[in-house]
A = this chain, B = another copy of it.
Amino acid sequence: MRIGLIGASGHYAAVLKILAEEMQGSGSNQSEAGRSPAGRSGRRGHSGPAYLAAIAMTHETEKAKIESVRRHPAYLKGKTVEYDSAQTMLAQADLDAVIVNPPYGWTASYILQALERGIAVYSEKPLATKLADLELIQKKAHQTATPLVAMFELRAHPVTATAARLVAEGAIGRPVLAFGQKSYKLNPDGRPIWYADRELFGGTIPWVAIHAIDWTRFITGLEFAQVYASEISVAAGRLAPIATAGAIHFTFRQGGTAAITFDYLRPAEAETHGDDRFRIAGTEGVLEGSLPRNELLLIRRGQGTIQPPLDETKPLFRRFLDALYGKTLHGKAEMPMTADDAIASTRAALWAQKAADEGSLLDIAEGKDVVG
């Protein structure tokens, strides 16, 4: 299976690691016969294990990272072809799937180009930084039925995955209140300068808070109705324009509330880079998770406090590959998420960013301002 890489601006490295395992024969599908995925167009569907067939840089800040890709075990000298542009690569490299990871403001454009060619997409989040582009992506994904998965990798964290299963099983009854926390360290020198360019960066909400937005939908199974958000920039230095801290307030269509805080204020000396947490309260209990501590707590009516064993999980990209194989082999392997699901979390993030930019209360479902 021929995989392409567009850009090297986000979490592409985690994907390459899985691809290297696959290429070296230790992928989870290794024992399965065939390994011959079928693309939709007919001209694709290369058999054999997935490998890095092509790469294209999208922005000059990716130079050093592309250089490190050349030394990565996923890079096969003589087999991995480098292209001058992503457009050319998509047109010529005959890919089954593409990893989309340019500066975030360019993601939507490459997703659209890939979908138009029926190439399965595994993309960095957010899928778009503008609502209009996201709607084009949704239209195209529906038209082509080409797989589109976003790097909402925290769905594959054992704490998050177990929480989602427990809620689906009714462990806390009806969920009505969700809290999510995204807190990161910020080393301005470690980030490319385009983080200070809102057109390329997209905003701290669609880049950072989006994970909590996505896990809230993923764990509760609820959809957002309205959103209000606010943020503040207090960073110094070259990344001064980026929002440093803020909060998002969603109501659920099914009733209830989600509050999400996000910040780049975690001191450098803190134990872990991030401090991701959630709390989901329902009519029958409360679930609390800390991702860096790998801790999940369930306080359940009639039972008290329980530390449920955590589910084993697979990375989303691993499941993406399995699904591409599975299509041909036995038709039962499923994509880790539908395109609509990935789009819904991105849409909620973009509406939240709009609410913060405008200081307005917005109706996601209706797509408009709410006048009090």
Contacts and interface: CB of A to CB of B under 8 A. Distances in A.
Interface of A: 174, 176-177, 179, 181, 183, 226, 228-232, 234, 244-247, 249, 251, 255-261, 263, 265-271, 279, 281-286, 299-305, 358-362, 369-372
A360 B362 CA distance: 10
A299 B281 contact: no
Contacts of A361: 228, 360-361, 370, 372
Given A245-B281, A359-B372, A372-B369, A268 B228 contact: no
Nearest to A304: B269
14 contacts: A176-B232, A177-B247, A177-B261, A177-B263, A226-B359, A228-B361, A230-B251, A234-B255, A259-B261, A265-B282, A266-B299, A267-B304, A269-B303, A270-B286
Contacts of A244: 176
Contacts of A181: 179, 279
Contacts of A281: 183, 245, 263, 265
Counted per complex, copies of this chain come to: 2
A302 B269 contact: yes
B267 A255 contact: no
B269 A247 contact: no
A93 B238 CA distance: 68
A147 B210 CA distance: 48
A177 B245 contact: yes
Contacts of A229: 249
A306 to B, nearest CB: 10
A19 to B, nearest CB: 36
Contact of A230 (B257, B303, B371): B257
A256 to B, nearest CB: 5
A293 to B, nearest CB: 13
- Which of A226, A228, A282 has the most chain B CB within a 10 Å cutoff? A228
A57 to B, nearest CB: 35
A344 to B, nearest CB: 20
Contact of A372 (B279, B283, B303, B360): B360
A304 B266 CA distance: 10
User: Which applies to chain A's interface (DSSP): helix, strand, loop or mixed?
Assistant: strand
A247 B216 CA distance: 15
Contacts of A270: 286, 299, 304-305
B255 A228 contact: no
Contact of A286 (B183, B260, B372): B183
- Which of A183, A256, A267 has the most chain B CB within a 10 Å cutoff? A267
Nearest to A264: B281
Contacts of A268: 301
B228 A305 contact: no
A183 B245 CA distance: 24
- Which of A249, A265, A268, A270 has the most chain B CB within a 10 Å cutoff? A265
Nearest to A369: B372
A360 to B, nearest CB: 3
A278 to B, nearest CB: 12
Nearest to A303: B269
A182 B260 CA distance: 16
A256 B266 contact: no
Contacts of A299: 266-267, 269-270
Contact of A234 (B246, B266, B269, B283): B283
B246 A257 contact: yes
- Which of A229, A263, A372 has the most chain B CB within a 10 Å cutoff? A372
